[in-house]
A and B are shown apart, each in its own frame.
Chain A
Amino acid sequence: IAGITQAPTSQILAAGRRMTLRCTQDMRHNAMYWYRQDLGLGLRLIHYSNTAGTTGKGEVPDGYSVSRANTDDFPLTLASAVPSQTSVYFCASSTLPGTEAFFGQGTRLTVV
Protein backbone atom coordinates (compact mmCIF):
# COMPACT_ATOMS: atom_id res chain seq x y z
CA ILE A 1 0.00 0.00 0.00
CA ALA A 2 1.29 3.45 -0.85
CA GLY A 3 -0.70 6.45 0.29
CA ILE A 4 -4.39 6.23 1.03
CA THR A 5 -6.68 3.44 -0.13
CA GLN A 6 -10.46 3.24 -0.18
CA ALA A 7 -12.71 0.24 -0.66
CA PRO A 8 -14.91 -0.53 -2.41
CA THR A 9 -14.37 1.66 -5.48
CA SER A 10 -18.06 1.51 -6.28
CA GLN A 11 -21.19 -0.01 -4.79
CA ILE A 12 -24.90 -0.22 -5.48
CA LEU A 13 -26.79 -0.52 -2.22
CA ALA A 14 -30.43 -1.13 -1.42
CA ALA A 15 -32.08 1.50 0.74
CA GLY A 16 -32.21 0.54 4.38
CA ARG A 17 -29.05 -1.57 4.24
CA ARG A 18 -26.00 -0.95 6.39
CA MET A 19 -22.72 -0.20 4.64
CA THR A 20 -19.17 0.50 5.75
CA LEU A 21 -16.75 2.32 3.51
CA ARG A 22 -13.15 1.51 4.30
CA CYS A 23 -10.19 3.86 4.32
CA THR A 24 -6.59 3.01 5.13
CA GLN A 25 -3.45 5.14 4.99
CA ASP A 26 0.15 4.15 5.45
CA MET A 27 1.64 7.61 5.80
CA ARG A 28 1.24 7.75 9.60
CA HIS A 29 -0.86 10.87 9.23
CA ASN A 30 -2.57 12.06 12.39
CA ALA A 31 -5.66 13.61 10.79
CA MET A 32 -8.19 11.84 8.58
CA TYR A 33 -11.38 13.04 6.90
CA TRP A 34 -14.45 11.84 5.05
CA TYR A 35 -16.00 14.05 2.37
CA ARG A 36 -18.89 13.55 0.01
CA GLN A 37 -18.96 15.21 -3.38
CA ASP A 38 -22.18 16.02 -5.18
CA LEU A 39 -22.65 17.91 -8.42
CA GLY A 40 -23.00 21.62 -7.76
CA LEU A 41 -22.27 21.28 -4.04
CA GLY A 42 -18.59 20.53 -4.09
CA LEU A 43 -16.82 18.60 -1.36
CA ARG A 44 -18.57 18.61 2.00
CA LEU A 45 -17.00 17.34 5.20
CA ILE A 46 -18.90 14.50 6.87
CA HIS A 47 -16.66 13.56 9.81
CA TYR A 48 -13.05 14.06 10.75
CA SER A 49 -10.49 12.72 13.18
CA ASN A 50 -7.56 14.84 14.29
CA THR A 51 -5.80 11.93 15.97
CA ALA A 52 -6.39 8.28 16.73
CA GLY A 53 -9.12 7.83 19.31
CA THR A 54 -10.93 11.11 18.55
CA THR A 55 -13.57 12.04 16.00
CA GLY A 56 -15.63 15.12 15.18
CA LYS A 57 -18.65 16.09 13.12
CA GLY A 58 -18.30 18.00 9.91
CA GLU A 59 -20.83 19.90 7.85
CA VAL A 60 -23.09 16.95 6.94
CA PRO A 61 -22.75 14.22 9.62
CA ASP A 62 -26.35 12.98 9.84
CA GLY A 63 -26.80 9.36 8.83
CA TYR A 64 -23.09 8.59 9.11
CA SER A 65 -20.78 7.39 11.85
CA VAL A 66 -17.02 6.92 12.06
CA SER A 67 -14.45 5.39 14.34
CA ARG A 68 -10.70 5.83 14.67
CA ALA A 69 -9.35 2.89 16.63
CA ASN A 70 -5.84 3.31 15.24
CA THR A 71 -3.79 5.71 13.15
CA ASP A 72 -4.19 3.93 9.84
CA ASP A 73 -7.91 3.18 9.53
CA PHE A 74 -10.94 5.45 9.40
CA PRO A 75 -14.10 3.58 8.35
CA LEU A 76 -17.33 5.39 7.51
CA THR A 77 -20.61 3.61 8.28
CA LEU A 78 -24.06 4.27 6.89
CA ALA A 79 -26.38 2.65 9.41
CA SER A 80 -29.45 2.62 7.16
CA ALA A 81 -28.77 3.94 3.69
CA VAL A 82 -31.16 6.37 1.97
CA PRO A 83 -31.16 7.50 -1.68
CA SER A 84 -29.93 10.99 -0.72
CA GLN A 85 -26.67 9.35 0.34
CA THR A 86 -25.95 8.54 -3.29
CA SER A 87 -22.67 10.33 -3.84
CA VAL A 88 -18.94 10.01 -4.37
CA TYR A 89 -17.17 9.59 -1.06
CA PHE A 90 -13.55 10.64 -0.58
CA CYS A 91 -11.33 9.80 2.34
CA ALA A 92 -8.33 12.03 2.98
CA SER A 93 -5.50 12.35 5.46
CA SER A 94 -3.02 14.99 6.53
CA THR A 95 0.02 15.10 8.77
CA LEU A 96 -1.70 17.51 11.13
CA PRO A 97 -5.11 19.24 11.14
CA GLY A 98 -5.13 22.17 8.74
CA THR A 99 -2.21 20.99 6.63
CA GLU A 100 -2.38 19.76 3.06
CA ALA A 101 -4.52 16.67 2.69
CA PHE A 102 -4.07 13.69 0.40
CA PHE A 103 -7.07 11.90 -1.00
CA GLY A 104 -8.03 8.34 -1.75
CA GLN A 105 -9.42 7.44 -5.16
CA GLY A 106 -13.02 7.68 -3.99
CA THR A 107 -16.00 5.35 -3.56
CA ARG A 108 -18.99 5.81 -5.86
CA LEU A 109 -22.07 4.81 -3.90
CA THR A 110 -25.54 4.50 -5.37
CA VAL A 111 -28.45 3.89 -3.00
CA VAL A 112 -31.55 2.57 -4.73
Chain B
Amino acid sequence: RKEVEQDPGPFNVPEGATVAFNCTYSNSASQSFFWYRQDCRKEPKLLMSVYSSGNEDGRFTAQLNRASQYISLLIRDSKLSDSATYLCVGTSGSARQLTFGSGTQLTVLP
Protein backbone atom coordinates (compact mmCIF):
# COMPACT_ATOMS: atom_id res chain seq x y z
CA ARG B 1 0.00 0.00 0.00
CA LYS B 2 1.33 3.44 -0.89
CA GLU B 3 1.99 5.75 2.04
CA VAL B 4 -0.07 8.51 0.43
CA GLU B 5 -3.08 7.59 -1.70
CA GLN B 6 -5.27 9.75 -3.90
CA ASP B 7 -8.17 9.17 -6.24
CA PRO B 8 -6.50 9.62 -9.66
CA GLY B 9 -9.65 11.00 -11.26
CA PRO B 10 -9.98 12.45 -13.76
CA PHE B 11 -12.37 15.04 -12.38
CA ASN B 12 -14.11 16.99 -15.13
CA VAL B 13 -16.10 19.92 -13.74
CA PRO B 14 -17.76 22.99 -15.28
CA GLU B 15 -16.37 26.42 -14.69
CA GLY B 16 -17.67 27.85 -11.42
CA ALA B 17 -18.14 24.47 -9.77
CA THR B 18 -16.84 23.46 -6.36
CA VAL B 19 -14.62 20.39 -6.35
CA ALA B 20 -13.05 18.46 -3.47
CA PHE B 21 -10.13 16.08 -3.42
CA ASN B 22 -9.30 13.69 -0.63
CA CYS B 23 -6.05 12.00 0.21
CA THR B 24 -5.28 9.36 2.82
CA TYR B 25 -1.96 8.64 4.47
CA SER B 26 -0.85 5.48 6.23
CA ASN B 27 1.93 6.75 8.47
CA SER B 28 0.35 8.12 11.63
CA ALA B 29 3.70 9.70 12.54
CA SER B 30 3.60 12.02 9.51
CA GLN B 31 3.93 15.58 10.70
CA SER B 32 3.67 17.89 7.72
CA PHE B 33 1.33 17.89 4.75
CA PHE B 34 1.10 19.89 1.56
CA TRP B 35 -0.84 20.20 -1.66
CA TYR B 36 1.12 20.74 -4.85
CA ARG B 37 -0.11 21.56 -8.32
CA GLN B 38 1.53 20.18 -11.46
CA ASP B 39 0.78 21.35 -14.97
CA CYS B 40 1.41 19.03 -17.89
CA ARG B 41 5.14 18.41 -18.43
CA LYS B 42 6.08 20.97 -15.78
CA GLU B 43 7.56 20.77 -12.32
CA PRO B 44 5.30 20.49 -9.23
CA LYS B 45 4.64 23.79 -7.50
CA LEU B 46 3.54 24.32 -3.92
CA LEU B 47 -0.15 25.23 -3.70
CA MET B 48 -0.50 25.33 0.05
CA SER B 49 0.57 23.79 3.31
CA VAL B 50 -2.03 21.92 5.37
CA TYR B 51 -2.47 22.71 9.03
CA SER B 52 -4.47 20.88 11.69
CA SER B 53 -6.69 23.89 12.16
CA GLY B 54 -7.41 24.07 8.45
CA ASN B 55 -6.31 26.88 6.23
CA GLU B 56 -7.70 28.91 3.39
CA ASP B 57 -6.06 30.78 0.55
CA GLY B 58 -8.58 32.56 -1.65
CA ARG B 59 -10.69 29.92 -3.38
CA PHE B 60 -8.66 27.06 -1.91
CA THR B 61 -9.26 25.42 1.47
CA ALA B 62 -7.16 22.63 2.94
CA GLN B 63 -8.11 20.44 5.88
CA LEU B 64 -6.25 17.82 7.89
CA ASN B 65 -8.02 15.11 9.88
CA ARG B 66 -5.40 13.29 11.94
CA ALA B 67 -7.86 10.90 13.56
CA SER B 68 -8.95 9.54 10.17
CA GLN B 69 -5.59 10.19 8.52
CA TYR B 70 -6.85 12.12 5.57
CA ILE B 71 -6.23 15.47 3.94
CA SER B 72 -8.64 17.36 1.75
CA LEU B 73 -8.49 20.19 -0.75
CA LEU B 74 -11.56 22.20 -1.69
CA ILE B 75 -11.57 24.47 -4.73
CA ARG B 76 -14.46 26.90 -5.00
CA ASP B 77 -15.58 28.77 -8.12
CA SER B 78 -13.34 26.69 -10.41
CA LYS B 79 -11.49 28.51 -13.18
CA LEU B 80 -10.22 27.11 -16.46
CA SER B 81 -6.73 27.85 -15.17
CA ASP B 82 -7.26 25.44 -12.27
CA SER B 83 -6.95 22.53 -14.71
CA ALA B 84 -3.91 20.58 -13.54
CA THR B 85 -2.87 17.56 -11.50
CA TYR B 86 -3.04 18.05 -7.73
CA LEU B 87 -0.53 16.17 -5.62
CA CYS B 88 -1.01 15.34 -1.96
CA VAL B 89 2.22 15.22 0.05
CA GLY B 90 3.11 14.00 3.53
CA THR B 91 6.34 13.49 5.40
CA SER B 92 7.56 10.03 6.29
CA GLY B 93 10.53 8.26 7.77
CA SER B 94 12.96 9.37 10.43
CA ALA B 95 14.50 11.77 7.93
CA ARG B 96 11.10 13.35 7.21
CA GLN B 97 11.22 12.82 3.49
CA LEU B 98 8.38 14.18 1.42
CA THR B 99 6.20 11.38 0.04
CA PHE B 100 3.92 12.21 -2.87
CA GLY B 101 0.60 10.74 -3.84
CA SER B 102 0.13 9.80 -7.49
CA GLY B 103 -1.97 12.88 -8.13
CA THR B 104 -5.55 13.74 -9.01
CA GLN B 105 -6.21 15.15 -12.46
CA LEU B 106 -8.65 18.05 -12.71
CA THR B 107 -10.08 19.49 -15.90
CA VAL B 108 -12.30 22.56 -15.66
CA LEU B 109 -14.57 22.82 -18.68
CA PRO B 110 -15.93 26.04 -20.19
**Chains A and B form a bound pair:** yes
Known: A40-B102, A41-B102. A48 touches B95 (CB 8 A): yes
Q: How many residues of B contact A (CB 8 A)?
A: 20
B57 at the binding interface (Cβ < 8 Å): no
A45 at the binding interface (Cβ < 8 Å): yes
- Indicate with 1 or 0, residue by residue over B63-102, a CB within 8 angstroms of chain A CB atoms: 0000000000000000000000001000100011111111
Minimum CB–CB distance for B14 against chain A, Å: 27
Minimum CB–CB distance for A84 against chain B, Å: 19
Known: A43-B87, A98-B32. A103 touches B44 (CB 8 A): yes
**At the interface, is chain A mostly helix, strand, loop or mixed?**
strand
Q: Which residues of A contact B46 (CB under 8 A)?
A: 100-102
The distance in angstroms between the C-alpha atoms of A43 and B100, with both chains bound, is: 6
Most chain A beta carbons < 10 A, residue from B31, B34, B87, B99:
B99
**CB-nearest residue of chain B to A45:** B97
Q: Which residues of A contact B87 (CB under 8 A)?
A: 42-43
The distance in angstroms between the C-alpha atoms of A101 and B98, with both chains bound, is: 8
Contact in complex: B43, A33 (CB < 8 Å): no
Contact in complex: A42, B103 (CB < 8 Å): yes
Contact in complex: A43, B44 (CB < 8 Å): yes
B49 at the binding interface (Cβ < 8 Å): yes
B45 at the binding interface (Cβ < 8 Å): yes
Find residues 1-53 in chain B having any chain A CB closer than 8 Å to their own CB: 31-32, 34, 42-46, 49
Minimum CB–CB distance for A35 against chain B, Å: 8
Contact in complex: A100, B95 (CB < 8 Å): no
Q: Which residues of B contact A33 (CB under 8 A)?
A: 97-98
Residues in B lying within 8 Å of A, measured CB to CB: 31-32, 34, 42-46, 49, 87, 91, 95-103
